[in-house]
Chain A
C-alpha cells in the first residue's frame, strides 16, 4: 500500500534528530572525558557509580522521586472531585471548568512559576503571608518559598490538567446506570464512589498519574524558580553539569537515569492498561 511511504520523511527526521542523539547520549554516559574535554575511551560505569556514591547527588535523585510521587498523589486526590463535577454538571458548568483547567496549560511555565513566587514570597510582603496574617491565622510570616513544598505546589499547578483530563475522560465513559443501581440498592455516596466509580475510572487514573509523575520528574523551570538551592531536582543537576562544570559524561549519565525512571513508570502503566489487569468501563 503506497500510503505507508508517506511516513518516511518523518521517520528519517526523527531517527536522525531524536533517536540517534538519544543513543549518542547513552554512549557518552559510559565514556571518559579527558582534560581537553574530548570524550572517548576507556568505557566506564564510574559516572553512574558517582550518582549513587556521592551523597549530594544521591539526595537530588531521591528528592526528585519524592517530589514527583507527592505531586502525583496530591494531583490525584484533588483531580477526582474536579473531574467528577466536570463530567456530571450542566454543559455550561462543564465548559467553564474545562476552560479554567486548560487555559493555564498554555501559559509559559516560567510565568506560572513567577506567579507562585509572588504568592509564596517569604516575609510579610508575600500574598499568602499577607492573607494569613490579615486573617490572623498566623502571627509571623511562614517560609515556603525555596523549599520542597514550594516546588510541589508549583508542579501541582503546572501538571494538574494532565490528571484532570484523562480522569474526566474515563469518568465520562462510565455507564451512569451502574451508579444509580448501587444507590438504589442502598449504598451511601462514599460506598458508590469506592466500589463503583473508583474501580471503573482506574484507566484514567493510571494514565494521569504516569503523565504527572513523568513530567514532574523531568522538570527544570519550577525547581529553578521556586526551589532555590535546597530543592534541586535531576533536571537542574544535568544543567549544572553541562553548562557550569562541563562534565558531559556525568551529565549524560544523570539524563540516562532520568529517562530510565520515566520509562520504568510508563512501562508499568502500559502493563497495567494493556494487560487488561484493570476493569474497563463497559
Chain B
C-alpha cells in the first residue's frame, strides 16, 4: 500500500474503490453467466450449463445479418472519418490562419451536441433529399459523430511531432507527400490507429443516431438487440450480449496495446 494513504481515510478510499469495481463489473458478469444458463426464463442464481443459446444465435439470420451490417458500417465509418478527419487535424495543427480556434470548436461540436438530436436533425434533411438507402444514411450519420474523435486523437499526436524532422526531409529534397508519408505519418501512426479504432467502436455501438436512420431492412446490432429486449423477449439475448461484450474486450486490449488507454481517452 502506498504511504500517501494511511489511517481511516485510506480505508474509506479503498472500500469505495473496490465497491465501484464490483458495481462496474456486476452487470456484465451476470449477463455472461446467464448466457450459459439452462432455463428459458432468467432466474437467479443461474441454473445448469448449456451452450444451446449460442448455437441458436449462430443460426439466427436476423442477428447474423445485423452483425454483418454493423461490421461493414463500422469499417466504412472508420475509413470515412479518417479520410475527413486526418487532413482536418493536420490543418488545425499546421494551418496558420485566422480563426483556427473557432474552426476547431466547430469541428468538435458534434461531441457536445446530444447525439439523439444529431440523428433526428439528419433524418429530417435526408428524407427531404429523398435519400432512401438506409445504409448510406447510416454511414453519413456515423461519420458525423465519429470524426471528432479522430480529429481529437490525431491533433494530440500531431502536436508531439518534431517539425525539425520534416524540415530536414524537405531540405534533403523530399516532396511534401513523401515527407508526410515517410516522416510525419510514422510519428502519428498510433494516434491515427487509436482514432480509427475509436471510430469503429463508437459506430458499432451507436444507438442514438442509428435509431433514426435505420429501417426494417437494415438494422444494426444494437437495434436488433433492443427490439428483442423490449418487445418479445428472446432467451438468446444474453448470448448475443456476451458476444458483444467479448468483442468490446478485444477492442479495449487492442487500444491499450496501441496507445495506452489513458492517453487514448484523454480529452
Q: Which residues of A contact B (CB under 8 A)?
A: 1, 3-7, 9-11, 13-14, 17-22, 24-25, 28, 78, 81-82, 84-85, 88-90, 97-104, 106-119, 121, 125-127, 130, 157, 160, 165-166, 168-169, 176, 179, 189-190, 193, 207, 214, 217-218, 220-221, 224-225, 235, 238-239, 242, 248, 251-252, 255, 258-259, 262-263, 266
Contact = CB atoms under 8 A, between A and B. Distances in A.
A103 to B, nearest CB: 5
A214 B116 CA distance: 12
Contacts of B79: none
Contacts of A90: 2
A22 B44 contact: no
A119 B29 CA distance: 11
B186 interface: no
A6 B90 contact: yes
Contacts, number: 268
Interface stretch (B52-60, B187-195, B242-250): B242-250
Interface string B200-211: 010011011001
B17 A82 contact: yes
B84 A10 contact: yes
Contacts of B107: 7, 10-11, 14
Nearest to A113: B229
Contacts of B181: none
A152 to B, nearest CB: 13
Contacts of A242: 120, 212
A71 to B, nearest CB: 14
B92 interface: yes
B121 interface: yes
B114 A258 contact: yes
B200 to A, nearest CB: 10
A21 B122 contact: yes
Nearest to B99: A4
Contacts of B27: 112, 114-116, 118-119, 157
Contact of B88 (A6, A115, A189, A235): A6
Given A107-B205, A262-B112, 9 more contacts: A1-B96, A21-B124, A81-B12, A111-B241, A116-B27, A189-B9, A221-B226, A252-B120, A255-B117
Given A4-B91, A111-B245, A238-B120, A10 B147 contact: yes
12 contacts: A14-B106, A22-B113, A28-B124, A90-B2, A100-B21, A102-B265, A189-B9, A217-B114, A218-B114, A255-B116, A258-B117, A266-B112
A118 B248 contact: no
A7 B91 contact: yes
Contacts of A84: 13
Contacts of A28: 124
A106 B262 CA distance: 14
Main secondary structure of the interface of A (DSSP, over half): helix
Nearest to A84: B13
Nearest to B150: A10
Given A25-B121, A81-B13, A220-B116, A118 B34 contact: yes
B5 A88 contact: yes
A157 B27 CA distance: 9
Contacts of A22: 113, 117-118, 121
B8 interface: yes
Contact of A110 (B91, B109, B222): B222
Given A28-B124, A107-B205, A118-B42, A220 B211 contact: yes
B248 A160 contact: no
B160 interface: no
Of the listed residues A99, A107, A157, the one surrounded by the most CB atoms of chain B closer than 10 A to its CB is A107
B4 A111 contact: no
Nearest to A179: B4
Given A97-B17, A104-B24, A109 B110 contact: no
Nearest to B96: A1
Nearest to A1: B96
B125 A17 contact: yes
A118 B122 contact: no
A237 to B, nearest CB: 11
B267 A207 contact: yes
B4 A157 contact: no
Interface-central residue, B92, B97, B114, by most chain A CB under 10 Å: B114
A193 B5 CA distance: 11
A118 B31 contact: yes
A20 to B, nearest CB: 7
Contacts of B85: 10
Nearest to A130: B44
A115 B115 contact: no
Contacts of B17: 81-82, 85, 97
Given A10-B85, A218-B116, A115 B24 contact: no
Contacts of A127: 30, 44
B14 interface: yes
